[in-house]
Structure 1
């Protein structure tokens, strides 16, 4: 299966080649990924979708170096991360990748600003103040930087988590069901920010979601079914995504 690269002419930020991931052994083995090849363009917002058990979360975890693969390669930029040692993989995730999860993972005793800068501080790095100011203004929370998570709404907390993922200027941000714990209004705030980070800041975002409305914020949707690629949608709408999922039996 050839790599899917619909964004012709754009630099590839992340690429999977013939990925295979099997959980369990023998009769109980589950082939979560079955020869998946797909490319994600830099400076684009891509959503990964599929029915429950399709392999979408497994694919993201393998792309991000959070899970090992049984066969195939994953490239972030020009780096084959499947060949890295644990130490080098940890360094790559710290220096070149940002993460946003369904749970906000903010430290309750720290302010919003301290949470945003925590990763850089732990890495012994100083923030680029101009970049930091750009991110803070983009998330629209400058007046809330001194507040602790308990003083912020769910949507505001997730935007702080997004800012934390972006502040180190990663090559790619992986977002795993980032609106899963939010109401529709707060979810829209977070999705607006992710889309804005792509269009105004040039960020690359790859998001797993089960929500057709969330997927409609992306430039492109990659569809999985039974551990294999099942198509893609460019310039998706909620209706086009929902229709595609129905055909996949979601």
Structure 2
């Protein structure tokens, strides 16, 4: 995977899209308690692409799940825009995730009997939301799927399937897109293409993107990298390079 040229981070004068304050998550394992998150304060701004990194067991995925309303923190708060999502009922969380959050996972999560276009449009159809055809056409063009819309997932490469998943996540202009190891199942070339799409969506579509990754090269596509260790936010880097990220990770793992 080729490291991208360093670009200046976008201005962050607007209020943050996502805010976490004092976030903790504790698991009871029977004989002991595991503190997956131990008081995390973090913000994510519109039009910025942020990577979350840290050693294995540092709390990366737990933090993303709490930010996205997929898991409830033990204490602390998460706000999406002006909405406090901690404490929402299950039905309210379901609607919030459907209407205001986009997700891209390591698994593509496409329905095999639907074409690429149908997979992209499916969430809008489920929500009975009108599709902005101009935005649809623009996103399809950006992710390079215009000639593949009629193909079933089985006829698409892994990189193309993940492009479908990215387009699906971006279509309804969510307030934030969470990407959990989005290039984990891809070769280096396809992975680089997906990371470029995520980076471009932040800059060209003013999209907030938050990505969990273990890969320093993947993180170098982001505008900012925040580092966790033992459930705490311990460092961050703006305008990251793969070398800078690797150096910080080595220090955290030492």
Which of residues 225, 231, 243 in structure 2 aligns to 1:221? 225
Matched, 1:87 2:71: no
- 2:5 — aligned with what? none
- 1:153 — aligned with what? 157
- Structure 1, gaps ≥5 residues long: 1-5
Please state whether the residue corresponding to 2:31 is helix, strand or coil.
helix
Distance 1:45 1:113 in 2: 26
Aligned pairs for 1:1-250 (under 5 A) are 8-24=12-28, 27-249=31-253
| TM-score normalised by the chain length of structure 2 | 0.94
- Structure 2, gaps ≥5 residues long: 1-9
Distance 1:20 1:85 in 2: 19
Q: Which has the higher contact order (CA 8 A, sep 6+)?
A: 2
Q: Say what the alpha-carbon RMSD is for the aligned residues.
A: 1.3
| TM-score normalised by the chain length of structure 1 | 0.96
Deviation at 1:7, TM superposition (A): 6.1
Distance 1:58 1:89 in 2: 17
Distance 1:176 1:82 in 2: 21
Deviation at 1:27, TM superposition (A): 3.5
Distance 1:28 1:177 in 2: 29
Moved more, 19-28 or 216-225: 19-28
Deviation at 1:83, TM superposition (A): 2.3
Distance 2:14 2:247 in 1: 28
Please state whether the residue corresponding to 2:165 is helix, strand or coil.
helix
Distance 2:216 2:76 in 1: 29
Please state whether the residue corresponding to 1:67 is helix, strand or coil.
coil
Please state whether the residue corresponding to 1:92 is helix, strand or coil.
helix
Distance 1:203 1:42 in 2: 6
